[in-house]
């Protein structure tokens, strides 16, 4: 019983004393609604996490291992978001938004050394997105994830048909999403993938291999369907011609 209690506390905090402090802070201010609650949490949460400014955190946000969470300036965390930094940490850059019911979970109970989630500046993590950081997830600046996107830096080994999959271990290579990427609603990014700068991933795509910079990838499995060139950009920027009869 005692060992299970220790395990539970270690999954949610870095020590027993920190756990008690964090729970007291949550009890006092986590539930407070409206702008009053946002202001109280901006101040009080500095006691339990690393914030370079005063983050706007709505009510109903769950934080586990907050000592391993770093928030930049002007970060916004919406209602129902779950940040679980177990261990490896979560970092969210300046002016980034995490919208309601998104889940960022390092889920590093196997203590993989390169685990963690790092999100750059001016990013948007859409509603109900899931980011799993066991293998390490690095997201650059000005990246937009539409609702229901899954970024999963972990995979199960299933090569031995005589053993249950749950006993065969995992692979965790990591995922890198470079600057200025837009990922459409419902897309799934699998472990070991790099998405290049300026790329666009279509809604519902399943990305199982690298996507080159400045391309559009779509489908399941995703493949490049278009290159984004200067000529294409200039043509898209031209106003439509209107003919009056």
Q: Compute the distance between CA of residue 169 and CA of residue 150 in angstroms, rounded to an integer.
A: 21
Query: Which residue is associated with the tokens 């278009």?
Result: 226
**What radius of gyration, in Å, describes the C-alpha atoms of the chain?**
20
Q: Which amino acids are annotated catalytic? A: 156
Helix (H) or strand (E) segment spanning residue 132: strand 130-132
Q: Which of 52, 112, 71 is nearest to 88 (CA)?
A: 112
| Cα angle 147, 148, 150; round to 5 | 125
Collect all residues with Cβ–Cβ distance below 8 Å to 134 and sequence separation of at least 6.
106, 107, 108, 110, 112, 115, 153, 154, 170, 172
Count the neighbouring beta carbons within 10 Å of the beta carbon of residue 26: 18
Q: Compute the distance between CA of residue 163 and CA of residue 133 in angstroms, rounded to an integer.
A: 26
User: Can you spell out the DSSP letters for 206-237?
Assistant: EE-S-B-TTEEEETTTTEEEEE--HHHHHHHH
């Amino acid at each position: 019983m005692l060992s299970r209690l220790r395990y539970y506390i270690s999954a949610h905090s870095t020590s027993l004393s920190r756990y008690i402090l964090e729970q007291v802070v949550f009890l006092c201010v986590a539930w407070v609604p409206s702008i009053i609650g946002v202001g109280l949490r901006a101040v009080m949460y500095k006691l339990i996490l690393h914030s370079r400014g005063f983050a706007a955190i709505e009510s109903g946000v769950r934080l586990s291992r907050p000592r391993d969470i770093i928030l930049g300036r002007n970060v916004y965390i919406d209602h129902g978001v779950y940040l679980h930094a177990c261990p490896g940490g979560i970092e969210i850059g300046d002016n980034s938004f995490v919208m309601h019911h998104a889940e960022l979970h390092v889920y590093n109970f196997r203590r993989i050394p390169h685990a963690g989630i790092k999100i750059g500046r001016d990013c948007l993590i859409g509603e109900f997105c899931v980011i799993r950081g066991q293998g390490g997830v690095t997201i650059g600046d000005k990246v937009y994830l539409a609702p229901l996107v899954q970024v999963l830096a972990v995979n199960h080994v299933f090569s031995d048909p005589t053993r249950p999959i749950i006993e065969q271990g995992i692979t965790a290579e990591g995922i890198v999403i470079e600057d200025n990427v837009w990922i459409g609603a419902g897309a799934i990014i699998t472990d070991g993938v790099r998405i290049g700068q300026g790329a666009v991933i279509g809604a519902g795509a399943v990305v199982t291999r690298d996507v080159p910079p400045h391309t559009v990838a779509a489908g399941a499995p995703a493949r490049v369907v278009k290159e984004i060139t200067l000529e294409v950009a200039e043509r898209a920027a031209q106003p439509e011609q209107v003919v009056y009869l």
